[in-house]
Chain A
C-alpha cells in the first residue's frame, strides 16, 4: 500500500512535469474555482486538511503558510508539543511543508534528564499533490506523504484522499472527504480508511468532524473574513474539542493557528522587454490625446501604472517643465540626463544611434534593487514622457551593458541635433579605457564609479531541531562594502559584526558556538573583474580572500541562450585554506583546493521555475552532484536542494546525501537611497536562508555535517551582480 502510494505520488509529479514540457502554451490556472467551496485550512499535521486527517485541497499556488499546533502525534498517541509547519504552494496542486516539532524548546536532550526533555524533537518534510485533469465540479483527489524519510521517522504516513464540495445555498457549504492511509503509527491512526465532513455555515466558521482511522474527532475552525486582512491573506484557528480516544491521547482538546500569506499571484514573469513595453504603453495611453498628434508629450499621472513606485509619478508631475516636444534638441537631452541623474540613476550616457534615427541611452541602476526590471520600467516611462524618441535602452551593471531594450514609438519625436560635440567622461581613467569612437552627447553623468556602497544585512548561523535545542542561532550584522572602479571591476569587502543576539548554545566556549559561530571581523576581501563577451557569454575573475581562505582565485563563466531558457556556467577556482586544528597541541594545516564545477540551468517560464544541476569537484575536494529547484514568487525564491558528494580520499567522509529547503528574499527598500551624497547605504538584494539535513536511513543518525558540496560561489556572482538574480 505504502509503496503503491509513493509510486503514485512520484508518477503523478512526473506526469505534471511531462505535461508541462510537452506544451509551450502552458497556462497557470491559479484562480479559485468559480463554484463556492469550503475554505481550505491547514490541519494539525503536515498537510492541508481537517484536524488530523487530510482532505484533497492543498496550499494555493504561490501562497506561503505558517502553522502552529500544540500537539504532535508520535507512535500511538497525541502528546503536548510545539509543532510548527512552514509550507508553500510550490506549483499548482502541489504543497510542500517543512515541519519542526518539539516537546520543549530549550531542553538539551543529551544532558537534561527531566521527563519533559525526553523528546521528541523532529525535523521533517511533507508533500501533497492534487491530481490534475479531474473536472473540479466532480471531485478532487490528492495523494501525499508526511515525514518523508530521514533518520528519526516519528510521523510518517502516506495517503490518498478524495473530496467533494457541496453548495447548500443559504445553509452554507459542505465538504466530504474519504480516503485510505498507511503509516507506521502503532495505533490505527492514519491506517486504513479515513473520512471527514467539513461544514461551513458562515464565512468565518467551520464545523468539522473526522475519523482518523483510529478515533472520531470533532471541533470548530474560525477563519478571518476576507476584508479583515490584506488581499489573499488568511488567518484561521482550529479547536478540536472532542475525540473518542481518551486513553492514549494526552488531551482531547487541541489547538492550532494558521496563517496564509500570498507570495505572488503565480503569474508568469514578464521579460524585461515586455516590462518596458508595458511601461511605454502605460505612459502613452495616459497621454494618448497628445501622443497621437505629433509626438507631443505631456506628463500626467497614470491611474493604473504598474511596477513603478509613486515617487516617480510624483516627480514626473512636479517636473519643472512639462515637455511638449515635437523635436528633441541637445538641450532636451541634457535636461533629460540631468533629470534622471537627479532622480537617482547613475552613469547615464546618451548618444545618437548608429543610424542617427534614435538614441542610445545607457544607465546604471542602483536604485531599484529588488528587481531591476522596475528600473527599466521607470526609465522607459521617463523616456516616453520626456523624449519620446526611438531608443535603445541599455542597462549597465558595474559599468557593463547587461540588457538591451528597444523603445519604439509609432510617432516618435524628431531628433534635431546638429554638430555633435562629444563629451568625455569626467574620469580620466574611463577616458583612457574608452577605445570606441562613439560620440557621446552625455557621457557617464553621475558616475557610478568610485562611489562607496555599503550593503547591510542580517547574518544568521543557526541549528534547527538538534538535541541541543529546537532553534539555536547567532545573529550578526553583515556590512558589505563595494566600490566599482571601472567597467566590471569591483572592490568587495565584508565585515561581520560582533554577535547581536544569540541563544545559550552560541555562548562563547559552547560546543555549538565553537563549531558553528561566525567570528567578528572582515571575512571577505575580494577584487572582481568581469567581462561581457559576445554570444551571451560573461565571465568574472575574483581574487583575494573569502570562505576563510586566502589566495582565492575564482572564475565564473556563463553562457545563456537568448530566451534565457538555458544557462551553462563553469565555476572554477584555486584557494588556499590555513586552519588551526588541535590534536595534542594546536597546529596549522594548509589545504589547497581546486574546485571545478559545471552547471546547467533550465527555466520553465510558465511556472517561473528554474532547475539547476551542478556536478564536478566541489570546494573542499569532494565530488558529486547537486540538483536545485528554484521557484520564483515575485521577488521571493523558494529553493529545494538535493546533493550527494563523496570525499573519495577520506574514509571518514563517505558519500553523503543532503536535502535542504531555503528561501531567498530581498531585504531592502523598494527604492534604495540615492548616492548623491557620494555614497550609498542599502539593504541586501538577495538574503538567503536555508535549513539543511543529512539524508540517512531510519536508525542512522543524521549528525550535523559540514564541508560537503560547498560551492565557491560568491555573493557578487554574475547572476546576482549583473543579471538581476538570474532573471535577465
Chain B
C-alpha cells in the first residue's frame, strides 16, 4: 500500500504532463532570460579577545573545513565590530552555517584586557607587531533571513570552533549545517572546552556567552560563571611571552594545544591522552596555572574599580587528562537498554 502511495503521485504527474501537451500542437515556447536579483547575507559580530580593531574578517562555508574559499571579507572597526556580506548571484536565500575567522594583520591592535599585557598596561592597545599569529574564529547559522547579528568571536568561541571542525572531520554525521544540530554540536564542543579550561560550565553554550572587553570593569558580568569565562578569555592577553615569540603566537600555541587534545578525543574517545597527547597536555597545564593566576589578578583589578568583589567559579590549576576523557566516556547516548525476547533474522541468509 505504501508503495502504491508512492507510485500514485508519479502516475498523476505523468498523466498531467501528458495532458499539458494534448490539444496544443501549435504551442510555441519563447524563453525570456530572467536575471535574478542576487541574495545577500549580512553577518555582524564583535571580536573581543581584548577588543580587536582593524583585523581581517573572513567568512567560509561550514563544509570548507580547511578554510580554503573565502566567501566574503572585511575589517573590524575600532570597537572590534564587523559586518560582512555574502552574496549569491543565483538569488536563492542563503542558508546554512558559516565559519568566521578573524586574523590579526599589519594594522591590527588589541586592547589589553588582562591586568597587564607584558609592557602594555590594562586598557591600552597592544600593537600589531605583538599580535602576529593571532587568529580567532566562530561559527554561525543562517536560516535565510539575510541577517546574522551575533556572530561574536573570542578565545572561547575559537577553542570551541576548532572542536567543531575536528568533529566534522571525524564524521560526516556531525552535521554543522542546520541550526538544530549545530546548537547541539556547539553545546558538546563547549563541554569539552570547559573541561580543558578546568571550569564546570554545565550545559552552557560558549557561543552564547556575552564576552566583553574586561578592561571595561563595569561591563563584566556579576554572574559567577559568566565572569569566570570572561576573565579566562581576558587572561590570555597576559600570558608570558617567550623570547622571540609574540603574544599572538603564544595564544595561538595554546589554542593549538587545546585543538590537539579535542581532535584526538573526538577521533577516538578511547584515546589515552596522558600517553598519546602528553606534549599538548603539558603545554596546556603550563598555561593553565598562569590562567588561574591571571584571572585572579584581573578580578582583583575589577573589584578595585567597581568596589565589588568579583565572584568566580573554581578553575582547576592543572587539567587532568582523565577528567577530559570522562566528558566523552560519560556521555553515551547509545546506552538505552533493550527489551527481552528474540531477534528475527533477515530473509536470505548471510551477507
Q: Does chain A bind chain B? A: yes
Q: Are A460 and B351 in contact (CB under 8 A)?
A: no
A587 & B269 in contact (Cβ 8 Å cutoff): yes
Enumerate A139-193 residues with CB–CB distance to B below 8 Å. Answer: 151-152
- Shortest distance from the beta carbon of A374 to any chain B beta carbon, whole Å: 21
Asked if A585 is at the interface (CB within 8 A of a chain B CB), the reply is yes
A692 touches B351 (CB 8 A): no
Decide: B344 and A462 in contact? CB cutoff 8 A: yes
Asked if B338 and A515 make an inter-chain contact with CB atoms under 8 angstroms apart, the answer reads yes
Partner of A693, one of B188, B268, B341, B348: B341
Stretch of A236-244, A295-303, A421-429, A681-689 at the chain-chain interface: A681-689
Minimum Cβ distance to chain B for residue A275 (Å): 25
Q: Are A464 and B339 in contact (CB under 8 A)?
A: no
Given that A480-B348, A714-B350, A715-B348 are contacting pairs, would A584 and B340 also be in contact in the complex, using a CB cutoff of 8 Å? no
Q: Point out the residues of chain A lying under 8 angstroms from B345, CB to CB.
A: 460, 662, 688-692
Residue A395 CB within 8 A of the other chain: no
Question: Could you mark each residue 143-174 of chain B with 1 if its beta carbon is under 8 Å from any beta carbon of chain A, else 0?
Answer: 00000000000000000000000010011011
A283 at the interface (CB under 8 A from B): no
Question: Which residue of A460, A523, A582, A664 is within 8 Å of B344 (Cβ)?
Answer: A460
Whether A684 pairs with B341 at a CB distance below 8 angstroms is no
Interface size class of B (residues with CB under 8 A): 35 or more
Within 8 Å of chain A (Cβ to Cβ): is B67?
no
In the assembled complex, which residues on chain B have CB atoms less than 8 Å from the CB atom of A713?
349-351
**B332 in the interface, Cβ–Cβ < 8 Å?**
yes
- Report the bound CA distance from A460 to B346 in whole Å: 5
Instruction: Kindly provide the distance from the CB of A324 to the nearest chain B CB, expressed in whole angstroms.
Output: 47
**Chain B hits for A466, CB < 8 A:** 338-341
B347 near A478: Cβ-Cβ < 8 Å: yes
Across the interface, A583 reaches (CB within 8 A) one of B332, B339, B343, namely B332
Partner of A584, one of B2, B3, B192: B192
Contacts of B343 in A (CB 8 A): 462-464, 516, 691-692, 704, 706
| B122 contacts chain A at the CB level, 8 A cutoff | no
| Interface pair B333/A468, CB less than 8 Å apart | no
Q: A110-B339, A580-B173, A585-B170 are in contact. Are A687 and B347 (CB under 8 A)?
A: yes
A583-B340 in contact (CB<8A): no
Contact between A546 and B351, CB atoms less than 8 A apart: yes
Q: A457 contacts the other chain (Cβ, under 8 Å)?
A: yes
Asked if A717 is an interface residue, CB under 8 A from chain B, the answer is yes
Contact partners of A712 in chain B: CB under 8 A: 351
**Residues of chain B with a CB closer than 8 A to A518's CB:** 346
Complex interface: chain A residues within 8 A of B351 (CB): 523-524, 546-547, 552, 712-715
Knowing A546-B351, A689-B347 touch, does A588 contact B171 (C-beta < 8 A)? yes
Which one of B174, B185, B338 lies within 8 Å of A704 (CB-CB)? B338
Given contacts A466-B338, A582-B333, A584-B331, is CB(A458)–CB(B350) below 8 Å? no
**Complex CA–CA separation, A465 to B343 (angstroms):** 9
CB-based nearest B residue for A581: B334
Q: Which residues of A contact B174 (CB under 8 A)?
A: 585-586
Quick check: is B307 within 8 A (CB to CB) of the other chain? no
Considering the chains assembled together, what is the distance between the CA atoms of A360 and B270 in angstroms?
63
Report B249-295 residues with CB < 8 Å from chain A CB.
266-269
- Tell me which residues across on chain B come within 8 A of A689, comparing CB atoms: 344-345, 347
Given A152-B340, A702-B340, also A587-B268 (CB < 8 A)? yes
Residue of B nearest to A526 (CB): B351
Q: How far is the CB of B125 from chain A (nearest CB, A)?
A: 38
Give chain A interface residues in 565-613, CB to chain B under 8 Å. 580-589
Q: Is A459 engaged at the interface, CB distance under 8 Å to the other chain?
A: yes
Residue of chain A at shortest CB distance from B164: A585
Kindly state whether residue B329 has any CB partner on chain A within 8 Å. yes
Within 8 Å of chain B (Cβ to Cβ): is A368? no
**Which residues from chain B contact A688 at a C-beta distance below 8 Å?**
345, 347-349
Q: Which residues of B contact A589 (CB under 8 A)?
A: 268
Report A530-568 residues with CB < 8 Å from chain B CB: 546-547, 552
Instruction: Check A584 against B341 for contact (C-beta < 8 Å).
Output: no
Instruction: Decide: B344 and A464 in contact? CB cutoff 8 A.
Output: yes
Which residues from A are CB-within-8-Å of B327? 584
Query: Does A307 make an interface contact (CB < 8 A)?
Result: no
Q: Is B37 among interface residues, defined by CB-CB distance under 8 A?
A: no
Give Cα A704 to B339, complex, Å. 6
CB distance from A209 to the nearest CB of B (A): 36
Check B342–A717 contact: CB distance below 8 A. Answer: no
Interface residue A225 (Cβ < 8 Å from any Cβ of B): no
Q: Choose one: B191, B339, B347, B349; the contact of A467 (CB below 8 Å).
A: B339
Contact A585 B167 (CB under 8 A): yes
Interface centre among B269, B337, B347 (most CB of A within 10 A): B347
Which residues on A sit within 8 Å (CB–CB) of B267?
A: 587-588
Indicate whether A61 reaches chain B with its CB closer than 8 angstroms: no
B348→A457 contact, CB < 8 A = yes
Q: Which residues of B contact A458 (CB under 8 A)?
A: 347
Kindly identify which residue among A121, A581, A582, A715 contacts B349, using a CB–CB cutoff of 8 Å: A715
Q: Does B336 contact A (CB under 8 A)?
A: yes
Alpha-carbon gap, A580 to B350, bound state (A): 22
How many angstroms between the C-alpha atoms of A463 and B344 in the bound complex? 5
Note all chain A residues with C-beta closer than 8 A to B341: 121, 123, 463-467, 693, 702, 704
Q: Is the CB of B338 within 8 A of A703?
A: yes
**B269 cross-chain contacts in A, Cβ below 8 A:** 581, 583-584, 587
Most buried by A among B192, B332, B348: B348
B348 touches A660 (CB 8 A): no
CB distance from B334 to the nearest CB of A (A): 6
Residue A473 CB within 8 A of the other chain:
yes
B 1-46 contacts with A by CB, 8 A: 2-3
Q: A717 to B349, alpha carbons, bound, how many Å?
A: 10
Q: A585-B171, A585-B185, A587-B171 are in contact. Are A664 and B349 (CB under 8 A)?
A: yes
Tell me if A511 and B344 are in contact (CB < 8 A): no
Given A466-B340, A703-B337, are A583 and B346 neighbors across the interface (CB < 8 Å)? no
- Known: A461-B346, A511-B336; 15 extra A-B contacts, CB below 8 A, are A123-B341, A459-B347, A463-B344, A466-B339, A466-B340, A473-B344, A511-B338, A580-B171, A583-B329, A585-B171, A587-B269, A588-B170, A691-B342, A691-B344, A713-B350
By a beta-carbon cutoff of 8 Å, the part of chain A in contact with chain B is 109-110, 121, 123, 151-152, 457-468, 473, 478, 480, 494, 499-501, 511, 515-516, 518, 523-524, 546-547, 552, 580-589, 660, 662, 664, 667, 684, 686-693, 701-704, 706, 712-717
A-B contact pairs, 13 of them (CB 8 A): A465-B340, A467-B339, A547-B351, A580-B173, A586-B167, A588-B171, A687-B347, A688-B347, A692-B343, A701-B337, A701-B340, A702-B340, A714-B351
Shortest 3 CB-CB distances between A and B: which pairs? Answer: A462-B344, A466-B339, A467-B339
Chain B interfacial positions (CB closer than 8 Å to A): 2-3, 167, 170-171, 173-174, 185, 188, 191-192, 266-269, 327-329, 331-334, 336-351
